[in-house]
Structure 1
């Protein structure tokens, strides 16, 4: 048996594709992007503060996004959380070779 390491983005895209198909919209999109409500999502749209490209579909209500864009953004958010950690009001930023501590 050969172990092949699959990148997280590819694995997540496949899982989301099985669940939603190539696009995601409305409530599912709000939830995937971490908005607490449709109203919060609507306000972010009005401010043009949505972290991924969203689009309309003719004769359909709501906004939609490609599953690949959602998966990529989720993986980026996860990577950011591993690179920046807050410990007792001190910011600690880790990179493979260095750790930088910033005291406020």
Structure 2
């Protein structure tokens, strides 16, 4: 394992932990409805439902008995958001290396 991979794993963990703590404070262990739609970056509930029907949501969602709508675990969302951020760091870093060459 290279140092870069270890660094990315550490960054990913730190981001996920920070995001998880903020989401837990604000929403608890579950997100649903408008909060879930917003956190996943969908502009409308309709866009969320369309992505769900196509099977392209970035996190696993599920229904709860006697509740309307879809729900996701805060931990799953935090991990996904962290992965997105680390990927952006990697792309920026690679772009900077190409510009220096």
TM-score surpassing 0.5? Answer: yes
Structure-2 separation of matches of 1:11 and 1:81: 17
Which consecutive aligned stretches of 4+ in structure 1 deviate over 3 angstroms post-superposition?
98-101
TM-score, reference length from structure 1: 0.76
1:14 aligns with 2:21: yes
Q: TM-score, normalised by structure 2?
A: 0.78
How many residues are matched?
A: 87
User: Counterpart of 1:94?
Assistant: 94
Q: Which has the higher contact order (CA 8 A, sep 6+)?
A: 2
Match of 2:51 among 44, 50, 58: 44
Structure 1: segments with no counterpart, 5+ residues: 1-5, 86-92
RMSD in angstroms over aligned alpha carbons?
A: 2.1
Query: Within 2, Cα distance between the matches of 1:12 and 1:35?
Result: 18
Q: Would you tell me which structure has more helix in proportion to its own residues?
A: 2
Which of structures 1 and 2 has the bigger CA Rg?
Answer: 1
For residues 5-59 of structure 1, the C-alpha deviation after alignment (integer angstroms, 9 at most, x for no partner) is x812111101110110110001000000000100000000010000011000001
